């Protein structure tokens, strides 16, 4: 029993449990589930860590992993018909809510864009494998699962941004500087999620009704807000300033707060009673004007921009935060004031006026810092990354690093992005994987498992793909063959008739409960079973899925 793998939820995982009150629940991202699967497959060589939400104890004792992906059910369905799934409740201690896209589920679960280079090179580039994963991965798909008003490309596949010409002055894509969705959650950026976050941001709106995909040519805008203390003992918005990339004023407005100002905090805000004397514009007016002015792919730039967006009571999917981009101490996680950054990198003295801060000056400085970094390289202004790069340069000089590494570290170019899959990573470690599905539309599968779908004997030794005629056949095949593979993915897409009536849905859920019992009985001791109930094309409006995870004990 001392060698039994065990899942232990951390605070983030506890908050995502379905048994948590809906108003207190904060769902996981599909990235979190993918991180667990990558870790179970590759262990310490995994470029992702599930440590944000779960600790996997005795992971080296895991024998294999089986995943059942059922497209067409949502977290609402599970909550309504939970009593129809006694086997799932008996097997799984961990049943969690997950944000998932309404389609392209296989892509989000399996697609792992990574730099296809040596492990040590990734370490040198980013300081850790997890940082490399965050730095290289295109998070647009994940953003779509949170901001469901981000449009997709006409072809259904995001464009290859690396082939686009960069704007004048940029040495690498500005999209690499965007905060990832998980970073935005960790930094308390307002996001349109359910549960606790939905309750917290109930009065917030998005900066646009419809967003376009972000690209290296998307325009950047510096944003800064000023606040005053009001009669409700809170800081409320009193000024909004936005500048464009040319340094020109894009939007500027004073704002009348909803409550009476009791402290203008002039030494910080620059706001005085005289300035506010005849101001009548409200926060709702600002919302309307910004929605009309900001482009659908705008990138907002600022210092600790989460505070400004919270003051605005607005949510935005594409943000660059200079407090995170620049690290002058060499200690991970530390933040430096904008005044210090402007002096060190721009040779500018800001926030020095006796009349308080100037929001135009502040947002211009933030934007100038980002443009400066884009004109240099990914390491510029980040002592933490530079220290790790220098360490590996030193290793190359004393003969530890390979010749490939020596050549690599001599260039400032960022890592080449190559799209691979979870299964592609497994193949490099000689891990055997199997994908079994009954889906009629195999377009998504073809994008990521094309080699396995062809008669390629060498590939099929490590990656087996099967298209079967029925859901029952998928389950039976997995039950019979799961012990032959290190990783099994069984994909089932429910049909409209499966969910047409309450009785039909109840019967299908009972059937799924029986499938789960069979799969759990088929996996080996110390095997991991993951069940994902995710809204697919049958339920395109849904963004909430359920993930059940458990290891099998003897």
Read off the pLDDT of residues 82-141 as tens digits, 9 standing for 90 and up: 999 999 999 999 999 998 765 566 666 665 433 333 344 444 544 544 454 455 455 666
Domain presence at residue 475:
yes
Model pLDDT, residue 419: 34
Q: CATH number for the domain including 264? A: 3.30.420.10
End-to-end Cα distance, the chain: 8
Domain shared by 469 and 495, yes or no = yes
Domain presence at residue 205:
yes
Residue with tokens 């993918």: 34
Q: Last residue of some domain: 333, 367, 389?
A: 389
Domain shared by 328 and 444, yes or no = no
Looking at the DSSP bridge assignments, the partners of residue 382 are 327
Q: Last residue of some domain: 337, 368, 389?
A: 389
Model pLDDT, residue 113: 38
Domain shared by 121 and 157, yes or no = yes
With beta carbons less than 8 A apart as the criterion, state whether 303 and 357 touch: no
Domain shared by 465 and 446, yes or no = yes
d(CA 192, CA 202): 9
Read off the tokens for 197. Answer: 């976050």
d(CA 325, CA 514): 49
Domain shared by 360 and 504, yes or no = no
Domain presence at residue 404:
no
Domain shared by 245 and 120, yes or no = yes
Domain shared by 228 and 362, yes or no = yes
Domain presence at residue 196:
yes
Flag residues of the chain having pLDDT under 70: 1-2, 44-45, 47, 101-141, 152-164, 195-197, 332, 354-356, 385, 387-429, 441-461, 536-543, 554
Looking at the DSSP bridge assignments, the partners of residue 178 are none
Domain presence at residue 102:
yes
Domain shared by 144 and 187, yes or no = yes
- The pair phi, psi for residue 306, each rounded to 5°, is -60, -35
Q: Last residue of some domain: 368, 389, 410?
A: 389
With beta carbons less than 8 A apart as the criterion, state whether 251 and 225 touch: no
- The pair phi, psi for residue 314, each rounded to 5°, is -135, 155
Model pLDDT, residue 1: 57
Q: How many CA atoms lie within 13 A of 461 on its CB side?
A: 6
The parent domain of residue 427 ranges over 6-112+419-552
Domain shared by 250 and 229, yes or no = yes
For 130, residues 6+ apart whose C-beta sits below 8 A from its C-beta are 47, 48, 49
Instruction: Look at residue 213 and give its three-state secondary structure.
Output: coil
Model pLDDT, residue 292: 95
Burial class, 529, CB count within 10 angstroms (exposed 0-12 / middle 13-18 / buried 19+): buried
Say how many residues make up the chain. 554
Structural domain total, the chain: 2
Residue with tokens 């999209």: 175
Domain shared by 249 and 213, yes or no = yes
Burial class, 291, CB count within 10 angstroms (exposed 0-12 / middle 13-18 / buried 19+): middle
Domain presence at residue 188:
yes
Segment holding 123, helix H or strand E: helix 119-126
Domain presence at residue 470:
yes
Q: CATH number for the domain including 423? A: 3.40.720
Domain shared by 173 and 213, yes or no = yes
Domain shared by 192 and 321, yes or no = yes
Model pLDDT, residue 351: 81
Domain presence at residue 412:
no
Q: What is the pTM of this model?
A: 0.71
The shares of helix, strand and coil residues in the chain, as percent rounded to the nearest 5, are 40, 20, 40
């Amino acid at each position: 029993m001392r060698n039994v793998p065990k899942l232990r939820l951390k605070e983030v995982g506890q908050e995502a449990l379905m048994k948590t009150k809906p108003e207190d629940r904060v769902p996981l991202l599909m990235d979190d589930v993918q991180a667990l699967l990558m870790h179970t497959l590759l262990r310490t060589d995994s470029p992702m860590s599930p440590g944000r939400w779960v600790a996997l104890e005795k992971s080296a004792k895991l024998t294999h992993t089986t995943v059942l992906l059922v497209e067409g059910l949502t977290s609402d369905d599970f909550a309504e018909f939970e009593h129809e799934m006694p086997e799932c409740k008996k097997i799984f201690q961990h049943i969690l809510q997950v944000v998932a896209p309404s389609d392209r589920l296989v892509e989000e679960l399996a697609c792992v864009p990574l730099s296809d280079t040596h492990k040590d090179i990734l370490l040198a580039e980013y300081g850790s494998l997890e940082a490399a994963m965050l730095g290289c991965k295109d998070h647009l798909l994940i953003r779509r699962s949170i901001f469901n008003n981000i449009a997709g490309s006409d072809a259904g596949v995001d464009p290859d941004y690396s082939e686009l010409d960069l704007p004048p002055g940029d040495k690498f894509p500005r999209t690499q500087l965007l905060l990832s969705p998980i970073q935005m959650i960790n930094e308390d950026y307002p996001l349109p999620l359910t549960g606790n976050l939905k309750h917290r941001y109930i009065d917030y709106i998005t900066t646009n009704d419809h967003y376009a995909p972000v690209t290296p040519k998307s325009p950047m805008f510096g944003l800064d807000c000023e606040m005053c203390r009001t009669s409700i003992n809170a800081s409320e918005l009193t000024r909004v300033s936005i500048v464009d990339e040319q340094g020109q004023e894009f939007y500027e407005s004073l704002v009348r707060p909803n409550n009476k100002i009791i402290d203008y905090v002039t030494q910080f805000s620059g706001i005085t009673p005289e300035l506010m004397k005849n101001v009548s514009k409200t926060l709702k007016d600002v919302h309307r004007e910004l929605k009309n002015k900001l482009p659908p792919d705008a990138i907002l730039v600022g210092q600790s921009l989460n505070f400004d967006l919270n003051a605005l009571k607005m949510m935005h999917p594409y943000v660059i935060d200079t407090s995170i981009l620049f690290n002058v101490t060499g200690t991970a996680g530390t933040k430096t004031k904008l005044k210090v950054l402007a002096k060190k990198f721009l040779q500018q003295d800001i926030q020095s006026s006796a009349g308080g801060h100037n929001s135009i000056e502040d947002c211009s400085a933030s934007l100038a810092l980002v443009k400066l970094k884009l004109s240099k390289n990914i390491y510029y202004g980040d002592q933490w990354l530079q220290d790790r790069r220098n360490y590996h340069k030193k290793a190359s000089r004393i003969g530890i690093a390979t010749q490939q590494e020596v050549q690599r570290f001599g260039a400032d170019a960022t890592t080449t992005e190559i799209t691979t899959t979870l299964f592609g990573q497994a193949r490099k470690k000689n891990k055997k994987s199997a994908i079994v599905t009954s889906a009629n539309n195999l377009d998504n599968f073809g994008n990521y498992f094309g080699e396995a779908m062809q008669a390629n004997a060498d590939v099929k030794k490590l990656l087996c793909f099967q298209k079967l005629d029925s859901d029952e056949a998928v389950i039976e095949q997995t039950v019979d063959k799961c012990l032959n593979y290190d990783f099994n993915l069984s994909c089932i897409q429910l049909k409209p008739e499966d969910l047409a009536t309450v009785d039909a849905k109840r019967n299908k859920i009972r059937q799924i409960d029986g499938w789960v019992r069979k799969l759990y009985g088929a996996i080996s001791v110390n095997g991991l079973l993951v069940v994902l109930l995710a809204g697919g094309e049958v339920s395109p409006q849904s963004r909430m899925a359920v993930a059940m995870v458990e290891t099998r004990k003897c």
